[in-house]
Every structure is written in C-alpha cells, then in structure tokens.
Structure 1
Amino acid sequence: MTTEQSKPIVVGVDGSPDSGIALDWAVAEAKLRGAPLYAVYGLWMPIAAAPFGGAAVLPPSDELRAYATEVLDAARQRAKDAAPDLDVDTFLVLRPPAQALLDVAKDAGLVVAGTRGLGTIGALVLGSVSGRVAAHATCPAVVVPPHEGPGDGTIVVGVDGSPLGDAALRFALTEARLRAARVVAVGAFRMRGHTTAPEERETEELVTAAVQRARTATGSTAEVSVVVTPGYPADVIVEAAADASLVVVGSRGRGDVRSMLLGSTSRAVLHQAARPVAVVHG
C-alpha cells in the first residue's frame, strides 16, 4: 500500500541552473522518503494566430523535442549520480509548464520547482510557474531558491492557529521526523498598546496549543521551540528562517479570504525567503 511519504516527488526541470538546484533538493527529499522521483519538462509553443487575435499552438520542433529529451536524460543521470538506488522517471509533457507539473503531481507526495527558469519558449519559466504551482498544487509544493548549503538543520513553520496553519505544522513535524531535525514554530502579533505583554502571551498560548494538536495528530516527538515576535507574519517568519533548512507555511491564514489560493503571508514568504519554502494546502 502506498503511504503519503512514499508517494512520488515531482520536480520541474528545464536545464537552467535554478532548476538544477530544485532537482538536487528533490533528489535528497526522495532519498529521505524512499520515494520515486519524477522529473518533468513542460514543452509548449503558443503563438499569436493573428495580430491582437487569439493564440494558436504549434507542435514543438524536432530541435526543441531533442533539447527537452537531453535535459530529461541529464536530470536522470544527475539524480542517479547522487542517489544510485533512487527510482527515477522522466516526463516530457506537451502542456504549459505549470500545468505539466500540476498534471503529473496530481497523486504526488510533493511537487518541487525552482524560482526561475530559462525564460525561453517552451521552458519552465519558474518565476511565474513556481507561483502557479504553489497556488494550485493538490499536494505540498516546495519552491527552492538559489541558496548556500543545507542550512542549520532546523525547520521553521509559521503558526497562526488556522486550519491550514495547523496543516503546515503537521507537515513540519513529519519532515522533522524524516530529517531528525528541530522545529521552530513561529508566531507573530501586532501590539495593541504600549506593551507587548498581552499580545505576546495570547500568541504564545495559541502557538503552543497548535503544536500540541499537531503532536497528537502525527505522534511526533520532535524537538519544538516556540518563537513569538511582534511584527508582520511574513517578515517574522523570513527572519527566523534565515539559516533554516526548510520553511513551511500554510497556503492561507486566518485573515485571508477563503477563495484566495495563496494568502498574503505565504505569497510574501515565497518572494522574500532565501531558503526552500513548502506551501501546504491541507
């Protein structure tokens, strides 16, 4: 029977340095989970059929198909060099890049993208693709920016007491078990007066209660530190995660409109963080 942890890790590649960084992160994660790795290249060639008119889609040229195949072959070899026993499969999908990733990741455990791609026709333009994947994925989505080293081993998670914040905390605790890592549960608050005491106490109680709910749900015994700081949530999370190995946020928080796919905090963390960010939808 397939468990959540053994479901495939799906990663977008296009031959760019950023997609190589995302691939390396995905390989390491798949190895930790004992899960297969799926490398995806989305190849799509829309053109304007008439000036100011609708778009048409051309079949990709032999040259573009050959390049995409070369990238996927190189991705497979790079993954195998890093993890010889890893089960690796590749997918050349004739869909827009974000949709290609989302289609392959429908039943995945995790989908991974870099922050930027080559920016050419048919390539994974990951500046836009990563945002769409993070917003629309049915599984947790990880956006991997260029970063130095594996970090200090901690997993920093934003906590606000919302259902999706709780889902992010459960994900962080599960990842901590895989990595034997410490979790830092971060809460932010705004001062209502001249002292931080009431708001700080309320937020600390909220975060502590959320940690207990997540422990009960996951059975995790990971070490958890609670950090409560005044400020805007995204700023507080990004600052706490400056050296983290992974940042985790829920896709929306308590103050976001339910119809929003990504809330203001998760979107800001994705834009600002210098470490890998996991967006959890529930």
Structure 2
Amino acid sequence: MAGKEVRPARVVVGIDGSDGSRAALEWAAAEAARRDAPLRIVHALGMPLIVSAHGGAARFEPTPEIHGQATGVLGEAEAHVRELRPTVVTEAVTAMEEAPLAVIRQSHPHDLIVVGTRGMGTFKSVFVGSVSVRVAAHAPCPVVVVPSRKGKPATTSMDRIVVGVDGSETARRALGLAYDLAAESGAELVVVHSWEVPYPYDPVAMTAAGYQPQEELFERQSEELVAGLLAEVVDERREDLDVEVSVVRTQNSPVSAILEAAEGADAVVVGSRGRGTVRGLLLGSVSQGVLHRSRIPVVVLPRHADEDE
C-alpha cells in the first residue's frame, strides 16, 4: 500500500532472568550488533486478568516488590548487553501480560524476535517450552529459538545456515528467509530436502515391468523441486546476491535429515507448517521436532510473518 509506514527493524528478546533467557539475550545482543539494530528487552510479569461483566477487563497492578524485581531483571540485562556489545542501543520494557503475548505485542513485522528454549515460567516437562512454541507459532515476524549453552557465551557467527524444504508455500518462504540471512552474513546456505520411499515394493519386479526404480524417480523429482524453489527465490530478489548454495537430498525423515545437515552449522531455518503437518499442533511436526532436538539456534518463520498486512 502506497504511503504505508515501514517501522525500522529491531531485535526483540524476551527475558526472565533464567539461564535460558540469558542465552537468548546474548544471542539477540550479538545479532543486534551485527545488524546495527536497536535491541528491545521485554520482561513479562503475567499479572492476573480481571474480567467484569460491566467494566470490561483489567490486569492487577504489580506490587512494589514485583515491580522492583522486574526493574532489577531488566537493569541486569541492559548492563550485560553494554558489557558484551557496547554499541547496541537498548530499550527495556516491562509488560503486564503473559510472556508469549507480551513478546508478540512488542514486535512488528519487520522485527526479529529471540526467545530461549526454556524459561519465562515454562515447566521442564513441556515440549521445548510453551513460550517459545507459542511465540514461534503466532509472531508477526521471524522468531529465533536459542538453546541454553550452560554458561557458555552465545555468539552469532554465521558461516553455515541450514534450511529444510518441501513443496509447500511455507517452505518456499522459509528458503527465501534463509537465503536473505545467508546473503546478509556471507554464510553458506545448505538446502535439505528429504523423501521417504513407500514400502513394501519390489524394485526388481518393477524394473522388469518397465517402471522407473522408485529411488531414481524420487531423486529426479527432488532435484527438480529444489532447483525450482531456488530459481523462484533468486528471481524474486532480482539482485546480484553472492550466496554459496549446496543441496542435500536424502531418504531420511525430514527432522533427522535437517538435524544431520545442521551438525557444525550456525543456524537452522524452518517454516512453521509444511506438508504433512499434524493437525492440532501449534507448529508443524517437523518444526517442533527440529526445535526439540536442535543444539543450535532455530529460526522459525511463522505462517504469515512476511506477508503484507
């Protein structure tokens, strides 16, 4: 739309003082420095919501003790960022809402959200972490989920980025995001496509009957699919971007294929949903599987994150 305001891109990170959120804060600060972008640090209090039949809804005001704790958490976070990345401009925000809603409301389509795999009130038994999954499913912009490094400083060295694709529109958009990240950082881009040959079948009998062997058929289809997706992504940019691209095609399951290719990589990019998604999941089964098992940051592109409002 002509005349539409474009907000400057920021990095938005949710924290609560836990080890998991500290790793996210350090990664977010490093990424903000790399992008020369401001860093918005959000601490959510999750104050109870009061609903009245006549007066609408309102949240409890935090007590002075709660407010003081929040100020302390944010102050420590800003001091840590100044120590690690002194050039980064920070903004501290105390939000009354629950953590997922607070982080989402503090972000815009041109931003980048960073959260930890756990923390912000997450139960240890919850798959990956309810906050990270809910934010990754509903955010208006890409979300980076950073695993805890157990006291080790987080970095954003971007030498190798892995992206998983299938034939879905979500995968094409995820590939576009990964391509842009690789172009910005000078990283190698590894595109992973997997398929599983249906069994049982008799390859000898099928070949004798004149059918093309299943492995060869799927290999050719995979090559055509990936080549077509890459051509679309490059054509959309219409720029002379220098990105080194390699392709991995395999019969492994999608989650295993992506994680195997991600060994030694710096980030993994996935779409929030693709083909074969299990209904009822906030994220697709592949996205959740990668988030659950990845040892490196996972960039999730929510379903409509890069579409015009």
Shift of 1:222: 0.5
Deviations 1:145-192 (A, max 9, x none): 124665782100011132111111111111112211100000011113
Equivalence for 1:269: 290
Indicate the RMSD between aligned Cα atoms, in angstroms. 2.8
Equivalence for 1:37: 39
Q: Name which of 106, 110, 113 aligns with 1:111.
A: 113
Q: Name which of 255, 259, 265 aligns with 1:238.
A: 259
Q: Which moved more, 1:213-222 or 1:155-164?
A: 213-222
Equivalence for 2:193: 187
Q: Which moved more, 1:206-215 or 1:132-141?
A: 206-215
TM-aligned CA distance change 1:74 to 1:157, over 3 Å:
same
Equivalence for 1:81: 83
Percent identity over the alignment is 41
Q: Name which of 134, 147, 155 aligns with 2:161.
A: 155
Task: Give the TM-score, by structure 1 length.
Answer: 0.87
Contact 2:59-2:96 within 8 A present in 1 as well: no
Q: Distance in 1 between matches of 2:216 and 2:230?
A: 21
Equivalence for 2:221: 202
Q: Distance in 1 between matches of 2:144 and 2:170?
A: 16
Q: Distance in 1 between matches of 2:183 and 2:219?
A: 29
Shift of 1:60: 2.3
Query: In the alignment, residue 232 of structure 1 is paired with which amino acid?
Result: S
| 1:168 and 2:174 matched | yes
Equivalence for 1:97: 99
Q: For residue 196 of structure 1, give the secondary structure of its aligned residue in structure 2.
A: helix
TM-aligned CA distance change 1:86 to 1:249, over 3 Å:
same
TM-aligned CA distance change 1:120 to 1:140, over 3 Å:
closer
Deviations 1:121-151 (A, max 9, x none): 9xxxx82111100010010111001246657
Q: Distance in 1 between matches of 2:49 and 2:21?
A: 25
Query: In the alignment, residue 203 of structure 1 is paired with which amino acid?
Result: S
Deviations 1:6-46 (A, max 9, x none): 50110001111111100111111111212111000000244
* Consecutive aligned runs of 4 or more in structure 1 exceeding 6 Å deviation: 1-4, 257-260
| 1:222 and 2:243 matched | yes
Max Rg structure:
2
Shift of 1:256: 3.0
Contact 1:9-1:108 within 8 A present in 2 as well: no
Query: In the alignment, residue 101 of structure 2 is paired with which amino acid?
Result: Q
Q: Distance in 1 between matches of 2:46 and 2:6?
A: 33
Contact 2:13-2:41 within 8 A present in 1 as well: yes
Q: Distance in 2 between matches of 1:27 and 1:3?
A: 23
TM-aligned CA distance change 1:225 to 1:2, over 3 Å:
farther
Query: In the alignment, residue 289 of structure 2 is paired with which amino acid?
Result: A
| 1:20 and 2:3 matched | no
Q: Distance in 1 between matches of 2:248 and 2:257?
A: 10
Equivalence for 2:71: 69
Q: Distance in 2 between matches of 1:65 and 1:237?
A: 43
Query: How many equivalent residue pairs?
Result: 271
Contact 1:13-1:20 within 8 A present in 2 as well: yes
